[in-house]
Structure 1
Amino acid sequence: MTLVDKCANLQARAERLKNSRETVAEAEALSKRLSEARHHRDSVQRVFEKVSFLKENKIEVDLSVAEQIAPLAALDRINERFAEKAEAASLTKGKDWTKLWEQASEWQKTLDTEVSRSWKNFVDIQWQGEPIADLNATLAKTKSNVRALEKFERIYRDLDSLREEFPENPQTVERALDLSEKLKRASEAFDYDVPEDVKAFLAAIHQGGAPLELLTEEVWAWLRENQSESHYRIVRER
């Protein structure tokens, strides 16, 4: 039985007891404890729903750390006492009641951090090729590569923006997968087959200008072949 199930079970038993009690004092005491239980259980339930969402969408999530700090021991002791003597005092006897919700809060925060990390990791692995910074550094700045890289960066930014918030529905997962496919198709337009001299020349142009010594015969030939000579002009160095 999970932490959520055990909390719900204890709450249901206390609700039944409250409804059957004749004394106002006992009913009020149980109501107070039930209010506390509902508040914490709702917080636990919300993060547990996130875990379920990830699993349903086949997104890996590591629960091992959270499982180590789940407050099941304190909850079990409270359940045992309440079974022996069904009254509000049994819930709060000793430190278990306070310890239960302190540990439950820590468990919830730990699990919330993990589900957020799992979602971000899922988005990140949708592109396992070269980082944009590396592509900018290694791709020759041909007209076709510049256009392809601009398109690639737009799609990448759309994908990266999905990391910021945990998804509310499966459509966000589907969008991440769709953008992943679009990134792969966009990357197929990159032209890596450019002579080294041309790469050096275009890289210098991209940085603000290329010295004449980079304008080799191979570069001239490549510019003519790609009908790009008219795109550049020689100016006096400032």
Structure 2
Amino acid sequence: MKQTGKQGAAGPDGTRPPVVLVDADGRALGEAPLVDAHTGRGLKHLAFTALLFDADDHLVLARRSATKPLWPGAWDGTFASHPGVGEPMGDAVHRRSGEELGLSVAGVPLAAIDYRVDDPAAGADAPFAEHEYCAVYLARLAPGDELVPDPGEVRGLRRVSLASLLEASPAVWRDHCPWLALALEALRCELSGARHERARAFDGALAALRSDGAGPALRAVIADLVPKGEWRVAPVLQNWK
């Protein structure tokens, strides 16, 4: 893994690059400004969430900055963002980890989620939502790797076992982004299917997802965090690397 400084996703005027709009199968339809894709019901667009595990199989969670327009201050997976127009998904993961955490990582796409959820903190006069076809990437911290979060993006870090997350109540989960629970459910479903070979490097970290109670626990959390039920485990796209 390569140590890096912030590369800067925003332009000189502070605007963010557009996102890639997609259909139900994840096929590109065009592009839209970032704000438009997250306003009202949102526009379905490509995204990723990345889960970074340390040598002790603990997941690194990142608390979102209080200045984030969506889910400010909530606990997220390690980092999440969107590929740029024409940018390969794996390259976007590598880029964004450097921007947010000061360390560029290479992840493995093991699952995907297709979901829409309203931000409960947004008022009725200015509703925001996430509406994403979202890749779930897993990565490992190498010995000696150091995370240096950008305070404009990340308020803090903590490390947890998946077992402890699965034991947490829905009330505790309300301090977390809903796509984290969705990503874990997608991983759980993938582990029970035929595409488990690429997950072997994460067997220890993901062991809790194979327990009998993992499915019911995650579905209870998801029912609370995604009350309209607008989500599904989606296919991993072949062009994700």
TM-score, normalised by the number of residues in structure 1: 0.23
Q: Flag the structure with higher strand content.
A: 2
TM-score, normalised by the number of residues in structure 2: 0.23
Q: Flag the structure with higher helix content.
A: 1
Q: Which has the larger radius of gyration?
A: 1
